[in-house]
């Protein structure tokens, strides 16, 4: 293939890719797991320090609850009382800002087969309240600067009994 | 071409970013049977706590290439979703898919993984059989020094539950033979010695466990809490008991 023809071929190829990317961009306008502040739950005054939100697992050691998973688990066990007879994965995704405060919550409800379902509203509200009571989160440091990050807590329930707390 | 798009998406853009996802989608459009692309598309949902988006994508990868992905799905069900029965079903399927070959999803033997799942289900006998099958197989084929040291920790935890302390000590010491900086091994040895009234030894061991833990030498996994994971508060609990 001669050079001008080759260039034209590549240009067309590039345009096709660009156009198909543009078409798809509606499907992915943000990173997976982005929580829209306009629809998020919790304190409306909650602010992040930057627009770049990392993930809890981008740091070593991982960012998370300041006093560790066991303390988190013990505290939940003390506060939780079963409501209804629900089974599934009830997930609270949220943002921890550079000051270690949590906000911008999103709730995801699934059955034990990871299919969407609706949980008892009272149960959601009870677990949401417990989740929001955890105020002290580890700041995530990268290049000497504290960063905002996404994290989640999933309550795995069987007959409204918490059988696991993930991740 | 599909593989090139997938590689471009993986190498050049952050996982789960719009650019990364779009390139993987193109890879799938070009070759809907590209199992690795379906799997890659699922990963950010897995890591970010969005199970209903993760599962159908990963299931598609398994449907297209069960030999590669079914054992791997079992690993994810075990660690990310604590779905023990379903994980065991996937591990068992690998026996049929690859007869005479032990699969190692995420570098862990399906036998070791089955041991962990059965332990969580409270089926200690089966857990012990699978841990031992794994340890013996590696020891016979490649030598004991090739066994994952954490398998010794997990089998020791099981022996401790059965109150078979001598066997637990053998495994914990074996772990220390190959990984002398294991905070977990010292932590569990301290527990056993405290239980059996040897406070002074327990005190020395828990001090070692704490110092090694603070240096990061403890059993943990990417993204999720592992089974039997210790933390500083658990160590300090024993520390208080031995100094009382």
pLDDT at residue B51 tops 70: yes
Hunting for tokens 């065991």 — which residue is that? B88
Tell me the percentage of chain B whose pLDDT exceeds 70: 100
Which pLDDT belongs to residue A24?
47
B152-163 pLDDT per residue, tens: 999 999 999 999
Which tens digits make up the pLDDT trace of A54-88? Answer: 999 988 777 889 888 888 999 999 999 999 999 99
Q: For residue A32, how far is the Cα from the chain centroid?
A: 9
Tell me, yes or no, if A163 comes closer than 8 A to chain B by beta carbon. yes
Q: What is the pLDDT of residue A67?
A: 85
With beta carbons under 8 A apart, name residues in chain A contacting B233: 67-68, 70-71
Q: Do A114 and B45 touch (CB under 8 A)?
A: no
Report the alpha-carbon distance of residue B19 to residue A25 in Å, rounded. 8
How many Å apart are CA A70 and CA A62, to the nearest integer? 15
B148-244 belongs to which CATH class?
mainly alpha
What beta strand segments (E) does B104-229 contain?
A: none
pLDDT tens sequence across B118-156: 999 999 999 999 999 999 999 999 999 999 999 999 999
Distance of CA A20 to the CA centre of its chain: 28
Looking at beta carbons, which residues of chain B come within 8 Å of A112?
83
Question: Is the CB of A81 inside 8 Å of chain B's CB atoms?
Answer: no
pLDDT tens digits, one per residue of B219-234? 998 899 999 999 998 9
Q: CB–CB of A32 and B16 under 8 A?
A: yes
pLDDT at B13 over 50: yes
Is the predicted pLDDT of residue A11 greater than 90, yes or no?
A: no
In terms of Cβ atoms closer than 10 Å to its own Cβ (0-12, 13-18, 19+), residue B88 is buried
Which chain B residue lies closest to A68 (C-alpha atoms)? B231
Q: Give the C-alpha distances (Å, rounded to integers) separating B123 from B10, B115, B120, B154.
A: 40, 9, 7, 14
Whether residue A33 and residue B82 make contact (CB cut-off 8 A), yes or no, is: no
Cα A164 from Cα A150, distance rounded (Å):
20
pLDDT at B174: 98
Helical pair B66-79 and B84-97, crossing angle rounded to 10 deg: 160
Considering only CB atoms, A24 lies closest to which of B22, B231, B234, namely B22
How many DSSP H helices and E strands does chain A contain? 3, 7
Contact criterion met (CB < 8 Å) for B81 and A166: yes
Q: Give the right CATH number for B79-143 from 1.10.1060, 1.25.40, 1.10.260, 1.10.287.
A: 1.25.40
Parts of chain B belonging to CATH 1.25.40.10: 1-64, 148-244
CATH 1.25.40.10 assigned to domain B1-64? The reply is yes
Decide if A26 touches B, using CB distance below 8 A: no
Cα separation, B114 vs B166, whole angstroms:
24
Confidence of residue A139 (pLDDT cuts 50, 70, 90): confident
Chain B touched by A126 (CB under 8 Å): no
Measured between beta carbons, which residues in chain A are less than 8 angstroms from residue B16? 31-33
**ipTM strictly over 0.95?**
no
């Amino acid at each position: 293939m001669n050079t001008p023809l080759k260039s034209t071929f590549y240009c067309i190829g590039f345009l096709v890719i660009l156009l198909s990317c543009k078409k798809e961009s509606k499907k992915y306008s943000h990173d997976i797991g982005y929580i829209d502040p306009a629809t998020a739950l919790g304190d409306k005054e909650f602010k992040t320090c930057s627009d770049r939100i990392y993930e809890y697992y981008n740091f070593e050691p991982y960012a998370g609850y300041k006093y560790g998973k066991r303390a988190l688990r013990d505290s939940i066990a003390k506060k939780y009382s079963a409501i209804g007879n629900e089974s599934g994965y009830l997930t609270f995704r949220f943002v921890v800002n550079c000051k270690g405060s949590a906000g911008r919550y999103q709730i995801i409800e699934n059955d034990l087969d990871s299919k969407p379902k609706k949980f008892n509203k009272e149960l959601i509200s009870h677990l949401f309240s417990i989740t929001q009571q955890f105020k002290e989160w580890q700041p995530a440091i990268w290049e000497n600067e504290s960063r905002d990050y996404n994290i989640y807590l999933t309550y795995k329930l069987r007959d409204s009994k918490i059988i696991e707390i993930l991740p | 071409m599909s593989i090139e798009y997938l590689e471009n998406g993986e190498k050049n853009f952050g996982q789960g970013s719009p650019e990364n996802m779009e390139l993987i989608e193109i890879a799938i459009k070009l070759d809907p049977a590209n199992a690795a692309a379906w799997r890659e598309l699922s990963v950010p949902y897995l890591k970010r706590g969005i199970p209903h988006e993760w599962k159908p994508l990963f299931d598609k990868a398994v449907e297209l290439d069960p030999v590669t992905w079914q054992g791997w799905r079992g690993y994810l069900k075990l660690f990310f979703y604590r779905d023990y029965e379903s994980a065991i079903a996937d591990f068992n399927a690998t026996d049929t898919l690859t007869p005479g070959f032990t699969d190692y999803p995420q570098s862990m033997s399906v036998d070791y993984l089955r041991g962990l799942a059965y332990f969580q289900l409270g089926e200690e006998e089966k857990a012990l059989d699978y841990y031992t099958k794994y340890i013996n197989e590696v020891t016979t084929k490649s030598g004991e020094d090739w066994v994952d040291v954490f398998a010794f920790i997990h089998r020791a935890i099981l022996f401790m539950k059965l109150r078979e302390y001598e066997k637990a000590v053998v495994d914990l010491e074996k772990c220390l033979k190959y990984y002398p900086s294991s905070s977990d091994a010292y932590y569990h040895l301290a527990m056993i010695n405290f239980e059996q009234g040897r406070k002074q030894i327990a005190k020395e061991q828990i001090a070692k466990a704490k110092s090694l833990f603070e240096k990061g030498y403890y059993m943990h996994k990417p993204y999720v809490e592992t089974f039997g994971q210790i933390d500083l508060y658990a160590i300090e609990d024993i520390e208080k008991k031995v100094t009382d």
